[in-house]
Chains A and B, each alone.
Chain A
Amino acid sequence: MKRNTIDRRTFLQGAGAFAATLPFGRFALAAEPAKPKELIVRVWGGEWKDAIDAGVSQSFAKATGIAIKYDETEDNELQPKLWAAVKQKRRPPVAVNWDTTTNATKSALKKMGEDLSDLPNLKGLLSVAQPLGFEGYPLVNVYSYVYVLAYRTDAFPQGAPKSWKVMLDPKFKGRIALYNDGIGFHPAAQVAGGGKVEDIPKNMKAAWDFIGKLKAQKPLLGEDPDFTNWFQKGEIDLACTIVTNARGAKKNGVKVAWTIPEEGAKVDTDALWIPKGLPANELYWAKQYVNHALSTEAQQGWCDGLGLPGVNPNIKPPADMVGDPAYPTKPEDFKKLLRVPNKIQVENEKEWFGKFKAIMQG
């Protein structure tokens, strides 16, 4: 009898395989649930919002007629609201959350997200798309990004700095910047301080010593928009930031370039996930949105805007990132990337944050 039955996942996969041949490539049920007027997607502002809008949302809205509205609440601030809504079985404030993989992993550990395993476009993605340590897909990673050493070109007439240690040069005192929670810098500091990435998290003395030396350089600590602003206003010469921010500043006419120093640079991922508690029809269309975001067409547009390598292997780097090690394509590029598994990041986030703060606030 089983031979003649079909479970939902198999059906969706089959339908998806068929639907994937269509231009929009969405999976379809026999009768599509009612379309909501709009879907709310949490995003970061600036280049980040522009990129997802141009790459994913506009084509989704055109194909489905569903408008995409954005919630630009900071990811860390939305997180407790989402958790509270799911716990209290209320409708969550957003239908799709664009989140760091570290934050998305925390939400997944709390079982806050819907399983996305039935999305047809998951097939054929790079392995980095799959979250580690979970059954199924409570989140899906959507692209990778590198925390580069961004620098003001005026301050480096001889060319790009070679090492993260340049931040310790006294002439850059008060003119360097890091993220205010130290994110993205730990592995680079570990290697620059003479340690090994493999020793993270057991022995991070090298990283903390290096960060301690940096404290004497009076760094500015901020978030994504601050880096662009600081470069623009001439406040800093060097920063450890996501390549997208440096690229955004450069596009805005700021004399900024970036490099992957000899010690390497941290690579990380961002993710999409859908909080539990959405009405059934909205959940269906939210999944369609995520599925669409993984398609070649949407990934190409989205990642072009961000200047980042997507998880869809069919996309090509944007013209200005071809050959750039911050958009790794060659084996030697990948060798310089420092990766810390998300599980380790999540488990040690509080301790690392506390140590970073102790150094920087001291």
Chain B
Amino acid sequence: MLLDTLEAVRALLWPRTMRRYSSAVLLLPAIALVLVLVAGLAWMGEASLHLLDTETFDTGEDYTAANYREIGAQSTYWIVLGRSVLGAAIVTLVTLILAFPYAYVMVRTASAWTRKVLLVSLFLPFFIGQVVRAYGWLIILGREGLLNTVFGAVGLGPYKMIYNYPSVLFGLVQYLLPFAVLLIAPAVTAIDEEIELASESLGAHWLRTFRHVTLPMARPGLVAAALVVFTLALTDYAMPVILGGGTNDFIANAVYDAFFRISDSGLGSAVAIVLVLIATALAAVILTVLGAGTLGFSDERR
């Protein structure tokens, strides 16, 4: 009775003739979200073409590329940009190296207890925000922090372990590791364990099996993880602020500074557009080199 009623309501709200549009309707929220992002980008693109008048603190009416010229002319932006791209590349590499064995053990372990521990350890950081985690590292790595206290007890240190570039990268790896594991784990799950066993039964050493069987078959997960980790690291704001000591800015910090510290929305928009273009171009390079097919987008996989 209840099911009949629900079916009648469904037929009233979404008649059978409309079924062919169902998939399109399901896509509407995603399309709306993308449109909001595109509209925001378009607004920033337009704003980036106006120059700030520091006598009135209004942006001018005329269209100009002056903000982009300023970005090109100021070495600060190039330094910060280079630091961001290099940092994102290092963080991506280190994160993938750490995430793959974690995901592999989590999927392949025969011990339910080990899997539970690894899963809990994976999800726990998601309940703690990025900023709180970064402050946690200050408590552990600070001059009077936990680690230096231990060093002090054995007559070493204190060592300066925070407020530098490596500590920013360290914080980013710790922040992004769970994302990478979550993206790699399904790819490892999809690899039939018997294929690995077949490789080994044919005489391949585990390292050879790993290199020629496991790694290529886990490629979709690795590519997805690399894309997510790289873009999140490249656009991160909080870690450079909290662990960088103010002299290790990433490009997102430069966007913030332009918008909020010097009230120049035109320059801030231009820096943001440059960041979006670079992130998109680098993501495109990753997909071109590794192939979009690795993410399951090729026709053969349909």
Using a CB–CB cutoff of 8 Å, the interface residues on chain A facing chain B are 74, 76-77, 79-80, 106-107, 109-110, 174, 180-181, 218-222, 233-235, 346-350, 353-354, 357-358, 360-362
Q: A220-B246, A221-B245 are in contact. Are A80 and B260 (CB under 8 A)?
A: yes
Chain B positions 118-158 with a Cβ under 8 Å from a chain A Cβ: 138, 142-145
Q: Which residues of A contact B259 (CB under 8 A)?
A: 80
CB A183 to nearest CB in B, in angstroms, measures 9
A-B contact pairs, 6 of them (CB 8 A): A77-B260, A350-B54, A353-B261, A357-B249, A358-B76, A361-B76
- A268 → chain B closest CB, angstroms: 16
Q: CA A245 – CA B170 in complex, angstroms?
A: 30
B265, A80: Cβ atoms under 8 Å?
yes
Report B113 CB to chain A, min CB distance, Å. 39
The CA-CA distance from A120 to B210 in the complex, in Å, is: 81
Partner of B143, one of A180, A233, A346, A353: A233
Q: Whole-angstrom distance from the CB of A241 to the nearest CB of chain B? A: 13
The chain A residue sitting closest to B148, CB to CB, is A234
Docked complex: B54-101 residues within 8 A CB-CB of A = 54-58, 74-76, 79-80
B179 at the interface (CB under 8 A from A): no
A360 pairs with B247, CB closer than 8 A:
yes
* A358, B254: Cα distance in complex, Å: 11
Q: Is B290 at the interface (CB under 8 A from chain A)?
A: no
Q: Is the beta-carbon distance between A109 and B57 smaller than 8 angstroms?
A: yes
Q: Point out the residues of chain B lying under 8 angstroms from A106, CB to CB.
A: 57, 263
**B196 contacts the other chain (CB 8 A):** no
Q: Is the CB of A218 within 8 A of B54?
A: no
**B265/A234 in contact, CB under 8 A:** no
**Interface SS of chain B: helix, strand, loop or mixed?**
loop
Known: A219-B247, A234-B143. A353 touches B262 (CB 8 A): yes
Given contacts A80-B260, A174-B160, A233-B142, contact A362 B76 (CB under 8 A): yes
| Listed residue (B138, B145, B163) with the most chain A CB atoms within 10 angstroms of its CB | B163
Also in contact, A80 and B261, with CB within 8 A (given A220-B246, A362-B76, A362-B79): no
Residues of chain B within 8 A (CB-CB) of A110 are 56-58
Which of A80, A109, A235, A357 has the most B CB atoms < 10 Å from its CB?
Answer: A357
Assess the B144–A234 pair: CB atoms within 8 A. Answer: yes
Cα of A233 to Cα of B140 in the assembled complex, Å: 12
For the complex with contacts A79-B260, A80-B259, 15 further pairs of A-B residues with Cβ separation under 8 Å are A80-B263, A110-B56, A110-B57, A218-B247, A219-B246, A220-B245, A221-B246, A234-B142, A235-B163, A349-B54, A354-B74, A357-B76, A357-B257, A358-B74, A358-B75
- A79-B260, A219-B247, A220-B163 known; A354+B57 contact, CB < 8 A: no
Contacts of B52 in A (CB 8 A): 350
Give every chain A residue within 8 A of B79 (Cβ-Cβ): 361-362
Q: Least Cβ distance of A186 to chain B in Å?
A: 15
How many whole Å from B289's CB to the nearest CB in chain A? Answer: 31
Contacts of A346 in B (CB 8 A): 54, 57
Q: Across the interface, do A347 and B160 meet the contact criterion of CB distance under 8 Å?
A: no
Cross-chain contact of B54 among A80, A219, A234, A347 (Cβ < 8 A):
A347
Closest B residue to A181 by CB, please name it: B261
* A233 nearest CB across to chain B (Å): 5
Contacts of B160 in A (CB 8 A): 174
Is B57 touching A180 in the complex (CB atoms < 8 A)? no
What's the Cα separation between A348 and B260 when bound, in Å? Answer: 16
Interface string of B30-63 (1 = CB under 8 A from A): 0000000000000000000000101111100000
Min distance, Cβ B248 to any Cβ of chain A, angstroms? 8
A-B residue pairs, 4 tightest by C-beta: A221-B246, A76-B260, A180-B246, A350-B262
Q: Which of B142, B249, B262 has the most CB of A within 10 A?
A: B262
Question: Which residues 190-222 of B have a CB within 8 angstroms of A?
Answer: none
Q: A233-B144, A235-B143 are in contact. Are A361 and B264 (CB under 8 A)?
A: no
Q: Pick the contact of A360 from B163, B246, B264 — CB < 8 Å?
A: B246
Quick one: given A346-B54, A347-B55, A361-B80, are A353 and B257 in contact (CB under 8 Å)?
Answer: yes
Q: How far is A218 from B164 in the complex, measured between Cα atoms in Å?
A: 10
Cα–Cα distance between A79 and B264 once the two chains are bound (Å): 12
Given contacts A234-B144, A235-B142, A360-B247, contact A349 B58 (CB under 8 A): no
Which partner residue on chain B sits nearest A76 by CB separation? B260
Residues of B within 8 A of A234 (CB): 142-144
Chain A residues near B144: list those with CB within 8 A: 233-234
A284 CB → nearest B CB, Å = 28
Cβ-defined contact, A349 with B262, below 8 A: yes
- When the two chains form their complex, are residues A222 and B143 in contact, meaning their CB atoms are under 8 A apart? no
Which residues of chain B have C-beta atoms less than 8 A from A107's C-beta?
57
Residue in A76, A222, A358 whose beta carbon sits within 8 Å of that of B246 in the complex: A222
Taken together as a complex, chains A and B put the C-alpha atoms of A152 and B249 apart, in Å, by 27
CB distance from B42 to the nearest CB of A (A): 17
| Chain A residues with CB below 8 A from B247, complex form | 218-221, 360-361
Bound-state Cα–Cα, A69 to B54, Å:
33
Which residues of the partner chain A approach B264 to less than 8 Å between Cβ atoms? 350
Chain A positions within 8 Å of B260 at CB level: 74, 76-77, 79-80
Select from chain A the residue with minimum beta-carbon distance to B262: A350
Known: A80-B259, A221-B245, A222-B246. A109 touches B76 (CB 8 A): no
CB distance from B139 to the nearest CB of A (A): 9
| Chain A residue nearest in CB terms to B254 | A357
Bound CA–CA A109/B263 (angstroms) = 13
Contacts of A358 in B (CB 8 A): 74-76
What's the nearest-Cβ distance from chain A to residue B7, in Å? Answer: 46
Once bound together, how far apart are the Cα atoms of A322 and B219, in whole Å? Answer: 70
Task: Report yes or no: B56 in contact with A362, Cβ–Cβ below 8 A.
Answer: no
